[in-house]
């Protein structure tokens, strides 16, 4: 009897506490409009297919306005869907929105304390960003350096494609391998033969991280960490495997790098930092170097390799665009040397194609989740401290008010009437935010744009890409659609695998 009374009392107290917390939570978020009604416990998870959430959230923006909140299990999330709201948050109130939310996936192995991507806004983050940016500038701004690092990989890529001799193949591996080796060159000053175990290992690590750190269904690990701790979620084991493989790779490479004194690469610079006084203040250790290396390899490979495979898919669907790119290369460079970054000014059409590629496909549709560092506001709507914020770049880049016919691939949007590239200050260019903006803007933006240009021009200069024939060899094979609404979600959005043929231009 006493036990029953005590238990009932406990249940009532817990219920009252729950209601108090619930009311307090409701008050905190009261000013932010809700999207659709929520279910107890699940919130909006029933409607929110995590693999298509950027598309669903964009539809909700049309119904509920550009700023609203959703609930993922017990977490309230602010979603910003328009240029004005994103600009206000990331640029005007930059530091207030520069945090990263605590997440189960990033807390394991202290990734949230040592990496750049997953660390919240802090003095250490600012310090690390500055240092890594300095190292990246060797390549991003130092154009000769980047061309020098890319040229051998471009040659391997072109030679490998040439060996297909007009027969159909899937372009993914050859592009991915080349981009991956450029990243290994920049970070570790090493490259691997594509057939080696080591190279397969770094590819597997990247694939596993892509699967487990994306905004897709692996995000459930953060919303329901107890499922993961009990090993009950389908992604828990994958996550562990990714981290273990990464550690093995890192330990082996670190030993080799430490034995060398003839190299200047990003990891070497990070290791040097661990011994300087200022770094000790920020607790920069070998663990920091490992995490930053992982960030760069992952962010620097999948994004660019995916962009290039999307580009080829688009060029097969749109042969006129491919021809215009080719004629610009033919006219200004010809075929006897690679296109360089200095040639870029003479190639407004190609630059416009690449900008349109970044808008149309919006490879990182929800950026990386942000977190409010203090009580703040967006477009005058009060937003409390410690709230997760999704930046819906997908919605921004397909807003018909600013991008007429948003699902049509139109490089001309970025050109003046006489075919010149719009200046960076033009409102159209300013509305393109593929790399985010403000304090957490992509660290590799300059590098990514330069490398994309070098690889895209090399591909179009060397080959004419066409649809592969079907099994009967009589008509063209069915291709996946180029429409990015059909792409699959991982860390980045990517199209289904497809086959093409590449006919040598010379
Ligand atoms: C087409 C290529 C790329 C795209 C579309 C892209 C896009 C993005 C986006 C949207 C973010 C999140 C910004 C935010 O949180 O608001 C980001 C962050 C980041 N990117 Fe990229 N990126 C690309 C290439 C690269 C490359 C080549 C590197 C490495 C050299 C890189 C390194 C990073 C890092 C380290 C961050 C985290 C910055 C931070 O949290 O402070 N990215 N990128």
> What's the CA angle centered on 279, arms 273 and 285, to 5 degrees?
70
Q: Answer whether 459's CB lies under 8 Å from 156's CB.
A: no
State which ligand 1 atom lies nearest to the alpha carbon of 439: 41
- Check the annotation: does 150 bind a ligand: no
Would you state the pLDDT for residue 210?
80
Helix axes 445-462, 348-361, angle to 10 degrees: 120
- The alpha carbon of residue 430 and the mean position of all alpha carbons in its chain are separated, in whole angstroms, by 19
The predicted structure's pLDDT at residue 188 = 92
Question: 410: which residues sit within 8 A by CB, 6+ positions away?
Answer: 356
CB 343 within 8 A of CB 367: no
CA 432 – ligand 1 centroid, Å: 14
Q: Whose CA is nearest to atom 7 of ligand 1?
A: 435
CB neighbourhood size of 469 (10 A): 14
CA 152 and chain centroid, separation: 25
- pLDDT category of residue 212 using cuts at 50, 70 and 90: confident
**Which residues are CB-contacts of 426 (< 8 A; sequence separation ≥ 6)?**
none
Distance 178 CA to ligand 1 centre (A): 19
Q: What is the DSSP string of 416-462?
A: -TTSPBPPTTSHHHHT--TT--GGG--TTHHHHHHHHHHHHHHHHHH
pLDDT exceeds 90 at position 260: no
User: Do residues 56 and 35 lie in contact, with contact meaning Cβ atoms separated by under 8 Å?
Assistant: no
State which ligand 1 atom lies nearest to the alpha carbon of 119.
40
Predicted confidence at residue 309, as pLDDT, reads 97
CB 435 near ligand 1, within 6 Å = yes
- Provide the pLDDT for residue 356: 98
| pLDDT reading at 305 higher than 70 | yes
- The atom of ligand 1 lying closest to the CA of 367 is 10
Question: Does residue 433 surpass a pLDDT of 70?
Answer: yes
Which ligand 1 atom sits nearest the alpha carbon of residue 370?
15
Burial of 277 (0-12, 13-18, 19+ CB in 10 A): exposed
Give the least confident one: 138-142, 182-186, 397-401, 465-469: 138-142
Q: Is the CB of 301 under 6 A from ligand 1?
A: no
Instruction: Write the DSSP assignment of 164-215 as a string of letters.
Output: TTT--B-SHHHHHHHHHHHHHHHHHS----TTSHHHHHHHHHHHHHHHHSSS
Task: Compute the C-alpha angle 455/195/338, nearest 5°.
Answer: 20
Q: Choose the residue to mutate in 80, 97, 215, 444 for probing ligand 1, maximizing ligand atoms within 8 Å of C-beta.
A: 444
Mean of the per-residue pLDDT values of the chain:
90
351-353-357 Cα angle (round to 5): 115
**Rounded average pLDDT over 270-291:** 85
- Determine if ligand 1 sits within 6 Å of the CB of residue 307: yes
Contact of 79 with 392, CB cutoff 8 Å:
yes
With both helix axes pointing from N to C terminus, report the angle between 123-140 and 445-462 in degrees, rounded to the nearest 10.
30
Residue 106 in contact with ligand 1 by CB distance below 6 A: no
Q: Return the higher-pLDDT residue of 116 and 216.
A: 116
Q: What is the pLDDT of residues 466-476, one digit of tens each?
A: 999 887 777 77
Which of 108-122, 179-193, 267-281, 307-321 is modeled with the greatest confidence?
307-321
CA 444 / ligand 1 centre spacing (Å):
6
Residue 295 Cα: closest atom of ligand 1: 35
Which residues, including other chains, have CB under 8 Å from residue 347's CB and lie 6 or more apart?
328, 329, 332, 339, 457
Q: How many helices (H) and strands (E) does the chain have?
A: 20, 10
What is the dihedral angle through the alpha carbons of 45, 49, 52, 57, rounded to the nearest 10 degrees? Answer: -30
Ligand 1 centre to CA of 105 (Å) is: 18
Q: Ligand 1 centre and the CA of 185: distance in Å?
A: 18
Q: What is the predicted pLDDT for the residue at 219?
A: 72
Distances 241 to 60, 176, 246 between C-alpha atoms, Å: 36, 22, 8
Tell me: pLDDT of 218 over 90. no
Is 296 a pocket residue for ligand 1 (Cβ < 6 Å)? yes
pLDDT at 233 over 80: no
Minimum CA distance residue for ligand 1 atom 15: 368
| Residue among 123, 299, 453, 490 to mutate when testing ligand 1 (max atoms within 8 A of CB) | 299
Give percent of the chain above pLDDT 90: 64
Say what the pLDDT of residue 15 is. 81
Contact call for residues 217 and 235 (beta carbons, < 8 A): yes
Ligand 1 contacts CB of residue 300 (under 6 A):
yes
* Distance in Å, CA 449 to ligand 1 centroid: 11
* Phi, psi (degrees; rounded to nearest 5) at 399: -80, 115
pLDDT above 60 for 142: no
Confidence of residue 217 (pLDDT cuts 50, 70, 90): low
Label the pairing between strands 75-80 and 388-391.
parallel
Tell me how far the alpha carbon of residue 450 lies from the centroid of ligand 1, in angstroms. Answer: 14
Separation of alpha carbons 134 and 112, rounded Å: 22
pLDDT at 143 (0 to 100): 58
Atom of ligand 1 nearest to the CA of 186: 30
CA distances from 283 to 64, 100, 106, 279, 322 (A): 44, 19, 18, 6, 50
Q: What is the pLDDT of residue 216?
A: 61
Return the pLDDT at 239: 81
CA of 204 to the centre of ligand 1 (A): 21
Measured from the CB, is residue 117 less than 6 Å from ligand 1? yes
Instruction: Give the per-residue pLDDT at 141.
Output: 57
Q: What is the C-alpha separation between 9 and 301, in angstroms, rounded?
A: 57
Alpha-carbon gap, residue 241 to 235, rounded angstroms: 10
Run of H or E including 378: strand 376-378
pLDDT tens per residue, range 350-393: 999 999 999 999 999 999 999 999 999 999 999 999 999 999 99
- Give the residue-averaged pLDDT of 88-116: 89
- Using a 10 angstrom Cβ sphere, with 0-12 exposed, 13-18 middle and 19 or more buried, the burial of residue 493 is buried
Largest CA distance in the chain: 93
Q: Indicate yes or no: pTM above 0.85.
A: yes
Determine the atom of ligand 1 nearest the C-alpha atom of 292.
35
CA 300 – ligand 1 centroid, Å: 8
pLDDT of residue 46: 84
């Amino acid at each position: 009897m006493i036990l029953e009374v005590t238990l009932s009392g406990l249940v009532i107290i817990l219920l009252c506490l729950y209601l108090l917390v619930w009311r307090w939570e409701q008050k905190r978020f009261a000013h932010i409009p809700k999207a659709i009604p929520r279910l107890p416990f699940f919130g909006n998870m029933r409607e929110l297919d995590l693999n298509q959430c950027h598309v669903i959230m964009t539809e909700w923006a049309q119904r509920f306005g550009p700023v609203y909140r959703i609930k993922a299990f017990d977490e309230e999330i602010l979603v910003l869907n328009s240029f004005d709201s994103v600009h206000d948050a990331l640029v005007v109130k930059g530091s207030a929105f520069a945090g990263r939310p605590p997440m189960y996936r990033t807390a394991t192995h202290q990734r949230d304390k040592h990496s750049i991507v997953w660390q919240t806004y802090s003095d250490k983050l600012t310090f690390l960003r500055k240092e890594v940016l300095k190292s990246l500038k060797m390549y991003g701004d130092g154009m000769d350096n980047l061309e020098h690092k890319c040229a051998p990989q471009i040659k391997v890529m072109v030679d490998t494609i040439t060996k297909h001799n007009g027969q159909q193949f899937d372009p993914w591996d050859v592009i991915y391998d080349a981009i991956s080796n450029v990243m290994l060159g920049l970070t570790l000053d090493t490259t691997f033969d594509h057939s080696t175990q080591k190279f397969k290992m770094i590819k597997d690590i990247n694939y596993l991280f892509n699967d487990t750190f994306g905004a897709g269904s692996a995000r459930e690990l953060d919303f329901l960490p107890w499922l993961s701790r009990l090993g009950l979620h389908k992604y828990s084991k994958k996550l562990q495997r990714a981290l273990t493989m990464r550690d093995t790779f890192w330990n082996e490479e670190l030993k080799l790098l430490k034995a060398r004194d003839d190299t200047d690469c990003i990891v070497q610079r990070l290791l040097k930092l661990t011994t300087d006084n200022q770094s000790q203040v920020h607790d920069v250790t070998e663990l920091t170097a490992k995490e930053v290396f992982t960030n760069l390899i992952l962010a620097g490979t999948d994004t660019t390799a995916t962009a290039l495979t999307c580009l080829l898919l688009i060029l097969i669907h749109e042969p006129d665009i491919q021809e215009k790119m080719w004629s610009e290369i033919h006219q200004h460079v010809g075929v006897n040397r690679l296109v360089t970054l200095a040639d870029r000014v003479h190639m407004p059409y190609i630059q416009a194609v690449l900008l349109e590629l970044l808008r149309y496909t919006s490879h990182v549709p929800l950026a990386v989740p942000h977190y409010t560092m203090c009580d703040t506001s967006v477009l005058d709507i009060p937003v409390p401290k410690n709230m997760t914020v999704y930046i819906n770049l997908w919605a921004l880049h397909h807003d018909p008010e600013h991008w007429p016919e948003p699902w049509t691939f139109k490089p001309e949007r970025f050109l003046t009437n006489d075919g010149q590239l719009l200046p960076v200050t033009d409102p159209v260019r300013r509305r393109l935010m593929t790399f985010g903006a403000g304090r957490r803007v992509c660290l590799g933006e300059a590098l990514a744009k330069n490398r994309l240009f070098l690889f895209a021009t090399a591909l179009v200069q060397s080959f004419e890409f066409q649809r592969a024939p079907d099994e009967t060899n009589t008509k063209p094979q069915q291709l996946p659609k180029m429409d990015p609404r059909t792409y699959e979600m991982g860390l980045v959005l990517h199209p289904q695998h497809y086959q093409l043929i590449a006919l040598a231009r010379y």
